[in-house]
Structure 1
């Protein structure tokens, strides 16, 4: 039977103003059967920032409704996947990308037996802007409401995970220090992680003169092109094939992807392939060579090279983690 849970992150932040740590059972009710781990909860980093470490196996399938008004959430999932509902849409959250969102409400579905390893940091939106110097002008206009509005938006900003991101997250998860060293370490590493992510945001490509959002036809064409990349992982189309299929010329297609997603079509398609590869690696049932073929590579060698360039580590490491 699926366990139904509900969590208001602003209420959690208020609770953490008076204590350093809130166990999940205090906020969600009895959760021992749901989260198989020694400790599962939320830790204060500072008054406007708190941290949730994902390092558990799902004992009972659950549905978690989460409210986050006025907060920006940064999530790095190293291991494990789940479905997330925002409004009437659903997407698969995996370890291939950093997810940054301020959607006011979402619902998570996780299945029994799933092993999670990752980090979620929640930060007051204005505090993130003022303290960490997020360059809003560098963000694709479609995603700026994540950082400029408390109303929130449905879509998450997705960034590729890097070797430094994974390393910092792993260090936070593996921390064994007793107090007060633990709190000091968590604050330092959480701050480092936010800096790493904000640095990526601030280095997003500068947007060109073409504003795809001004043309509904072009906007729809870019969304169609993105869905083709996500759907045709096994044999991704060339730029020329894609322009023909969606009815845009090469410049409009490239400028449109930069406008909407902050990357070129090639890099968007690559990220989609790597995301699917990461899901299959974490699942652990297929060989790396078979996974390579399923995401459009001729063999292990070319796939491993692309995977290492994207994630900063070889695919065998993710494969080994799935066996832990």
Structure 2
């Protein structure tokens, strides 16, 4: 037994013209028994574009029938997998991929217990061409109808997940702002994400489909994980949390850090915190206790011990130098 759901993206877009965010329950009815999440809905980016955050666990198996007349769907999947049918074509949506389609209808099937993490952006096809400047003349003929035809193609254009796109997606998924800042932030990052993907498409070799290389996607994930450590020294994620955020398992994350940096993720995260502390100390603009607080230490003593163990000197020796 599974839940059957239906969505019409044109209806969602029409409703978003009047308000910035719509909960999925307004279209699907109560969904608390299907999606275990804090937010499941659709957010306006501009009048022709909206965004959906995939950050939930499927509480039960469900199928989702979607109609998207003349709308292009761009989906970045960081973690989790499910199957999708478009016409006679069936494929798996897998982690660390970017898939683009505008086929008028599709049906997906997600098993209970699946944890999905990613971003979906829906944009009017003509808006993608005229407003964002997506060029189609060099796209392979098999994929060109996705952008040049209302009927699209019964398959997706698959792109490698770039480090830049993965980092923006993580920023969206990790956003802790309340409204109205949350809406402003989501819109800005959604536009940035579309710009990056259009640039990626425009830079593809003429007439050739892009190659999806697993190693390069993993390298992008490792780079994003390192950037997360540097961006969040005040509250570094655990290895399990970091692995989930970039779509890798713990072993791949640890092996990737050792190959890229010669350090475990934990050691790299500690190094990033100490380097940020060193930068703040050198400015001399804030107290050592405030430096400790900004990189996540409860007090001066614990920070001083960690700093001395890392650099072999007291933090006071670098304050204001």
Give TM-score scaled by structure 1 length.
0.67
1:182 is the counterpart of 2:182: yes
Aligned residue number for residue 196 of structure 1: 196
| Deviant stretches of 4+, over 2 Å | 270-275, 281-284, 286-289, 314-317
Once residues 247 and 190 of structure 2 are traced to their aligned partners in structure 1, the CA distance between those partners, rounded to angstroms, is 25
Aligned residue number for residue 97 of structure 1: 97
How do 1:1-324 residues align onto structure 2 when only pairs under 5 Å count?
1-207=1-207, 258=208, 261=209, 263=210, 267-268=211-212, 270-271=213-214, 284=249, 288=252
SS at match of 1:142: coil
RMSD: 3.0
The question of whether the paired residues in 2 share the 8 Å contact of 1:76 and 1:120 is answered with: yes
SS at match of 2:131: helix
The question of whether the paired residues in 2 share the 8 Å contact of 1:138 and 1:203 is answered with: no
SS at match of 1:204: coil
SS at match of 1:143: coil
Q: Structure 1 residues 88-97 or 32-41, which shifts more?
A: 88-97
The question of whether the paired residues in 2 share the 8 Å contact of 1:71 and 1:125 is answered with: yes
The question of whether the paired residues in 2 share the 8 Å contact of 1:138 and 1:201 is answered with: no
Structure 1's 35 and 202: CA in aligned 2 closer, same or farther, altered over 3 A?
same
SS at match of 1:129: helix
Structure 1's 315 and 86: CA in aligned 2 closer, same or farther, altered over 3 A?
farther
Aligned residue number for residue 228 of structure 1: none
| 1:141-184 deviations in Å (ceiling 9; x for gaps) | 21111111111211100100011111001111111212221221
Give TM-score scaled by structure 2 length.
0.68
| 1:94-142 deviations in Å (ceiling 9; x for gaps) | 1232101001111110111111111000000001111100011121121
The question of whether the paired residues in 2 share the 8 Å contact of 1:145 and 1:152 is answered with: yes
Once residues 94 and 272 of structure 1 are traced to their aligned partners in structure 2, the CA distance between those partners, rounded to angstroms, is 15
Aligned residue number for residue 312 of structure 2: none
The question of whether the paired residues in 2 share the 8 Å contact of 1:104 and 1:151 is answered with: yes
The question of whether the paired residues in 1 share the 8 Å contact of 2:78 and 2:97 is answered with: no
Once residues 265 and 70 of structure 2 are traced to their aligned partners in structure 1, the CA distance between those partners, rounded to angstroms, is 39
The count of aligned residue pairs is 240
The question of whether the paired residues in 1 share the 8 Å contact of 2:51 and 2:122 is answered with: yes
The question of whether the paired residues in 1 share the 8 Å contact of 2:25 and 2:31 is answered with: yes
Aligned residue number for residue 297 of structure 1: none
CA deviation after TM superposition for structure 1 residue 65, in Å? 0.3
CA deviation after TM superposition for structure 1 residue 206, in Å? 2.1
Structure 1's 137 and 163: CA in aligned 2 closer, same or farther, altered over 3 A?
same
CA deviation after TM superposition for structure 1 residue 273, in Å? 9.9
CA deviation after TM superposition for structure 1 residue 6, in Å? 0.3
CA deviation after TM superposition for structure 1 residue 283, in Å? 8.5
The question of whether the paired residues in 1 share the 8 Å contact of 2:79 and 2:96 is answered with: no
Aligned residue number for residue 278 of structure 2: none
Once residues 73 and 273 of structure 1 are traced to their aligned partners in structure 2, the CA distance between those partners, rounded to angstroms, is 23
Structure 1's 141 and 272: CA in aligned 2 closer, same or farther, altered over 3 A?
farther
Once residues 214 and 264 of structure 2 are traced to their aligned partners in structure 1, the CA distance between those partners, rounded to angstroms, is 15
Larger Rg: 2
